[in-house]
Chain A
Amino acid sequence: TQLLEQSPQFLSIQEGENLTVYCNSSSVFSSLQWYRQEPGEGPVLLVTVVTGGEVKKLKRLTFQFGDARKDSSLHITAAQTGDTGLYLCAVDTGRRALTFGSGTRLQVQP
């Protein structure tokens, strides 16, 4: 079983629509990160959430860390074609390296 389960695995929407991606676990984490990866490139850090219940906004992206620090969500408002990519949540399990979630592949159609 995967430490971090992301849902949905794949999402295809029209430009302008809203969407939410989830990252769930049964474990508690001190912090959680969200990355976006485009084809043929390395992942790029979007945000780090640290406090239970924390909400962070990055333009049209809203990130929330669950109260119990076991899960997180990413909400995109009015998606654009430039939002297309693989969205990954990740945590440091105490060894400094990151464990990544299963990923959500988002495709935004014009």
Chain B
Amino acid sequence: GAVVSQHPSWVICKSGTSVKIECRSLDFQATTMFWYRQFPKQSLMLMATSNEGSKATYEQGVEKDKFLINHASLTLSTLTVTSAHPEDSSFYICSARLAGAIDTQYFGPGTRLTVL
């Protein structure tokens, strides 16, 4: 089946620093990738839609200048959390869309971000 990887799997950083998270589709090309955030004991919430070669589309309430998304190739999207603060600590999960008769999204294993 289709595989999506994320790197790093976990990261701890100091408040005010920036952190980059990578999302790769390993065996298929994805023109569209998605970034979700999941707080403890909660469900996944969509942050933004990442489109290859164009600007990302952000959900209401998600600051585009804080969460920078780049989708430079058909297999790689990156999320950079700029000037991270403790409230940004969360589980960040990406997914890549495999187009077909019924579109299917394949999820990465997630990245646990802890901001001290």
The interface of chain A, by Cβ under 8 A from chain B, is 31, 35, 40-45, 48, 50, 88, 92, 95-103, 105
The interface of chain B, by Cβ under 8 A from chain A, is 4, 6, 32, 34, 41-46, 49, 91, 93, 95, 97, 102-110, 112
- Cβ–Cβ < 8 Å partners of A105 in chain B: 41
B106 nearest in chain A by CB position: A45
Give bound CA distance, A35 to B108, whole Å. 13
Contact among A42, A50, A95, A101 with B49 in the assembled complex (CB-CB below 8 Å)? A95
Give bound CA distance, A4 to B44, whole Å. 12
**Between-chain CB contacts (< 8 Å), 5 pairs:** A35-B107, A40-B109, A41-B109, A43-B93, A97-B49
- Cβ–Cβ < 8 Å partners of B97 in chain A: 96
Give bound CA distance, A100 to B36, whole Å. 10
